[in-house]
A and B are shown apart, each in its own frame.
Chain A
Amino acid sequence: MPLTQPPFHRSAALRALGRHALAWACLLLAYAAGLWVTDALSLPLPGILGGMALLLALLALWPAGIAVLEPAVRPLLAVMVLLFIPAGAKLVSLAPRLAQAWLPILAVVLLSTLLALAVTAWTVRSLARWLGPGAGR
C-alpha cells in the first residue's frame, strides 16, 4: 500500500473518457463508411473487408491515427475470440454432417495447411536470398 494515495484528477479521468469515446466514434465511423463504400461501388468483397482496406489506406496516409484508435482497438481485439462463439455454437447441430464427412475434412485441413506453410516459407526464403543479402533482414 502506498502511503499517499495518488491525487485523483477529474480532468485526467475526463480526458481518458474522451480518448475512449473518440476512438470508438472513429472506429464505428470507419466501419460504417467501409460498408457504405463497398456497397455503393458494388466491390466483390465482404463489406467488413472493404472497411478494413479503407481504414488501412487511411492509416497509411495518416499514421497518427493509429494512436487515436488504439483505446478502442486494443480491448476489442483482446476479446475477439468471444465474438466468434455464436457462429461456432452451430458445431453441435453440425455434428452429424461433420461425422459424415470427417475424412475429407481432416485430410484437406492437414495436407492443405502443411502445403501452405511450406510454400510460403520456401517462396520468401528463395526470393530474399535471390535478391541478395540485406534484403532478408
Chain B
Amino acid sequence: MSPWLASLAACAGTVLAYAAARWLQARAGGSVWLQPLLTGSLLVGLLLLPLRVPYADYYAWAWPIHRLLGVATVALAVPLAGQLGRLRRLWLPVLAGLLAGNLAAAGSALMLTRLLGGDRLLALSLGPKSTTTPIAMALSQRLGGDPSLTAVVVVLTGVVGAVLGPWLLDRMAEEDPAVRGLALGVAAHGIGTATAAQASEEAGAWSALAMGLSGLLTALILPPLVRWLL
C-alpha cells in the first residue's frame, strides 16, 4: 500500500472510531465514564488486532493527526487570552492557588508512585497527569516517560476528578464558582473543565483558565521536581 493511502486509511479509521465513540456516549445519556477518548482509543486498538496492523505502523501513518494536535495545543492560547481580563483583577490568589495546586499534583504523583513501588519510568509517566493530554504527553516524552501510558493516565485522572471533584468541593463547603472551576481545571484538565462548565459558565471560564495556565506551570516545575524527588 502506498504511504499516502495508508495515512488516509489510518486517519479515516480514527475519525470513524471517534464518531462511534461520541454516538455511544450520547446513547448512554452523556455518561462521564464513557469518555470518547477512552472508548474511541479502545475501538482503534482492538480493530488493529484482526487487521494484523502493528500499533507502531498505525501511529506512524496517523501523522497528520499528530500535526493537527500540535496546532490545536497552540490554539488553546485563544480561549486563554479571552480570560486575561478576569485574571488581571484577581491575579494573586489565582496564581498562588494554581502554583500550589500544580506543585501538589505533580509532586504527589512522583512521590506516591515511588512510595508504592513504581519504577522511575512509571513515575515520569504519571508526573504530568493533571495537565491536558497534548502537554502531558509532550512533557512525559521530554522527561523520558512513556507518552502513551501518560495519555491513558491523563484520561483516568480527568474522569476521577470530574466524578469525585464536585463531591470533595461540596465536602469543603466551597460554593464560589470561581474557586470550584479553578480547582477542577488544575486537577482534572479538560474533563474537569467540561464538568465545571456544566455547573455554570463562570465556573467553566475559570476552569479553562486554570487548565491552560496549569500546562505552562507544570512544564516549568516538573523538571526541577523530578531532579529533587526522583
Q: Name the prevailing secondary structure of the A interface residues.
A: helix
Q: How far is the CB of B100 from chain A (nearest CB, A)?
A: 4
**In the bound complex, do residue A124 and residue B94 qualify as a contact, i.e. CB atoms below 8 Å apart?**
yes
Using A87-B148, A91-B41 as known contacts, say yes or no to A119 and B100 having CB atoms under 8 A apart: yes
**In the bound complex, do residue A121 and residue B216 qualify as a contact, i.e. CB atoms below 8 Å apart?**
no
A-B CB pair tally, cutoff 8 Å: 313
Interface string of B51-91 (1 = CB under 8 A from A): 00001001100100110111111111111111010000010
Q: Which residues of the partner chain B approach A104 to less than 8 Å between Cβ atoms?
A: 112-113, 116-118, 122
Closest to B191 in A: A81
Using A56-B81, A90-B151, A98-B152 as known contacts, say yes or no to A49 and B216 having CB atoms under 8 A apart: yes
Interface string of A94-127 (1 = CB under 8 A from B): 1001100101111111111111111111111101
Query: A121-B97, A124-B97 are known contacts; what are 18 more A-B pairs with Cβ within 8 Å?
Result: A48-B70, A52-B212, A59-B81, A69-B75, A72-B75, A81-B40, A83-B69, A85-B40, A85-B65, A87-B41, A91-B45, A112-B109, A114-B187, A115-B108, A118-B183, A121-B172, A121-B182, A123-B100
The 3 closest A-B pairs by CB, nearest first: A88-B41, A92-B45, A120-B101
Q: Could you show 18 A-B contacts with beta carbons less than 8 Å apart?
A: A44-B223, A47-B70, A48-B138, A52-B74, A81-B18, A83-B68, A85-B65, A87-B147, A90-B149, A91-B41, A101-B122, A108-B118, A108-B129, A122-B172, A123-B100, A124-B96, A124-B97, A124-B178
